[in-house]
Amino acid sequence: MPVGALQRHFLNLLDVSADDLRQMIKRGIELKQLRRSGVAHESLPHKTLAMIFEKSSTRTRVSFEAGMAQLGGSAIFLTSDMMQLGRGEPIEDTARVISSMVDIVMIRTHDHSKIERFAEYSKVPVINGLTDLSHPCQLLADMQTYLEERGDISGKIVTWIGDGNNMCNSYMEAAYQFDFQLKIACPEGYEPQAELLKKTGSHCEIVRDPEVAAKGSDLVVTDTWVSMGQEGEKSGRQAIFADYKVTPQVMEQAASDALFMHCLPAYRGMEVDENVLEGPQSAVWNEAENRLHAQKALLEYLLVD
């Protein structure tokens, strides 16, 4: 019998109210300050996070594992090929067993329906650590970074350049929740999810040309042209996306105090020029660090009453 509907999960940004998201971002900033000042803050003693990875990760794994340790809990790192899941045990059975033993679960997988099925059968909260559809944890970090470096993002213009992929979908949800305008420059056939575009249409529009989309923008964002699972399409994608690159010329179209963000890993010379990634407008290293702080706030939000 599915029990997950009674639980609070974090599968997409639209699962949580705009107020709760803003509170989480602010809490991320507080937790960052506590860590900077060397104050131990163990709000999750004896809590255990199980992390299931069906794709590679550097930031997501380290930030969740370190975050749980810093909050006084622990994390278990699992990959599907080291689990019975990889030998065909159903996700529903895996969910019922794991959620009877730990307090919270994070999953990184391909098909979004898999994490939805897990959540449906889980007795504990489930966090989306990236699926083919979305990457909401990254948006917590990105929104924290903008708030720290430039203040409130509401009413600002954000430009997405490149593939209408999982990150782009989550940016559309963020535009809706944090009330900014998102301009998306992507090639035809590589648009974000149509249903989501309809839902968030008041805040998002497709503007094909990168330089036009970047005009007056407060934040320019991109991501790899070849997401995990698309390795076989690499050379075709590199040709299709060749004009969807964040270059100094694109950044010149944006506001003079515009920031550049990228969830990383970045491919220099492909979706972003080295000069932009390493330049003064780039917020990518703070953005990456903020995965830790923002997700600690998320863990508290899901686990502390």
Active-site residues, by number, are 108, 135, 138, 223, 263, 291
Of 104, 102, 85, the C-alpha closest to 93 is 85
For the chain, the C-alpha Rg in angstroms (whole number) is: 19
State the DSSP H helix or E strand holding residue 259, giving kind and residue range, or none if neither.
Answer: strand 259-262
Least distance (Å) between residue 112 CB and ligand NVA: 12
Sort 234 into a burial class: Cβ within 10 Å, 0-12 / 13-18 / 19+.
exposed
Give the type of residue at 257.
D
**Per-residue contact string for residues 111-130; x = within reach of ligand CP by CB under 6 A:** -------------------x
Least distance (Å) between residue 266 CB and ligand NVA: 10
CA distances from 263 to 56, 90, 91, 267 (A): 14, 31, 28, 11
Smaller CB distance to ligand NVA: residue 99 or 224? 224
Smaller CB distance to ligand NVA: residue 193 or 227? 227
Told to check if 228 binds ligand NVA by CB under 6 A, we report yes
58 binds, among ligand NVA, ligand CP, none (CB under 5 to 8 A by kind): ligand CP
Interface of this chain with ligand CP, residues 243 to 272, rule: CB under 6 A? 263-264
Told to check if 168 binds ligand CP by CB under 6 A, we report no
Strands 157-161 and 181-185, sheet pairing: parallel
Told to check if 134 binds ligand NVA by CB under 6 A, we report no
Least distance (Å) between residue 6 CB and ligand NVA: 30
